[in-house]
Amino acid sequence: MHFPTKLSFILLLMLNVAFAQSCTTVVFSDEGSLIFPLALLSAFLVALIYMLSQAVHKPEWENWCKKAGMQILVSLILISLVNLAILAGCAVSDQLVGQDMFQVSINYLNDLAYSKGFPLVYMLTDASIQNQLEAVNFKFTTNPLTGGGGLAKNAGEKTKANAQDSVINMLMPLIASLYAQGLVLKVIQTVIVPIFLPLAFVMRIFPQTRTVADYLIAICLGLALILPLTYVLNIKIAESILPASIITPEAALDPDLRLLDVASLIPQAIFLPNLTIVVTVSFIMSFSKLLVRGFEPEGLYYAS
């Protein structure tokens, strides 16, 4: 390796160390302090292998160090880009709903499940039991001439109880869906950024795991940014729908069935999650292709 190339490579490693320290942003907080030592350790290992290659005269090791050093720099640039993207997402969420995008999404789902869903189940269950008890209220009369007979004064309450049981059976999957979505968001918030994202950036250094790392970075960014942002948009959509603007059938206003309240859970429990999945998966696939193809230019590395 010629002296200018050696000098540029040494400067590249120094730039990696300096740039790594600037990547501990407020977005990752504690997680950023994990990314920095990992990046610093990676740069140190590359420098160590480079010095070893000079000592034992291994051009292939030297060439690998050039590639690895460049990939460390690319990884650190990606860290900054991911930080900026998450900062932008936080700013959008704060502008729209005034809260952190994960927290407001989890609170929104909990409100639908626990403030609307479960109270409806309790109310309908209690009403169904009461209606069934009233339906068995049977008055029996008899006389010697006409024989025995009876009258069920509230026999129609059984039909109402059956309808309420049907609504309960419809409610439970909706509540389960809302609970599962909230649980998934909590897992993503707890695991993706603190663990998998730093791991992905370290994996980018090694050629054997670079493609997997690019896919992992795309998955992490999709789950940590795009997914919660779709819930923020869902909240704004739900808030913009005015009940007065909806033509409501009379049956939906029946206080014994509360069908309108049940219907308000259906979009977020069934339809909007599918849209969220489509948007998130589309972003992950597109961004992963950008990472895989955009940072592997042909002929960038060569052996001197």
Mean pLDDT of 252-264: 78
Residue 300 forms part of a structural domain:
no
Domain-located, residue 111: yes
What is the spatial distance between Cα 303 and Cα 53, in angstroms, rounded to a whole number? 13
pLDDT classification of 299: cutoffs 50, 70, 90: very low
Total H helices, total E strands in the chain: 12, 2
Which residues touch 59 (CB under 8 Å, ≥6 apart)? 53, 303, 304
Task: Tell me the average pLDDT across 166-172.
Answer: 91
Average pLDDT, the chain: 77
**Two structure tokens written together for 162:** 């059956």
Query: pLDDT digit string (tens) for 10-24?
Result: 444 444 444 444 333
Could you tell me if residue 299 is inside a domain? no
CA distance linking residue 112 with residue 107, whole number of Å: 9
75, 103, 88, 29: which is closest to 225 by C-alpha?
A: 88
pLDDT score for 278: 94
Whether 59 has a pLDDT exceeding 60, the answer reads yes
Task: Specify the higher pLDDT residue, 188 or 2.
Answer: 188
| Whole-number Å distance between alpha carbons of 21 and 108 | 36
Q: Give the pLDDT of residue 180.
A: 95
Residue 290 lies in a domain: yes
Look at residue 303 and tell me if it is in a domain. no
Residue 151 near residue 139, CB atoms below 8 Å:
yes
Q: How many domains are contained in the chain?
A: 1
Burial 144-170 (b: 16+ CB within 10 A, else e): eeeeeeeeeeeeebbebbebbeebbee
The domain in which residue 265 lies consists of 3-294
Residue 238 lies in a domain: yes
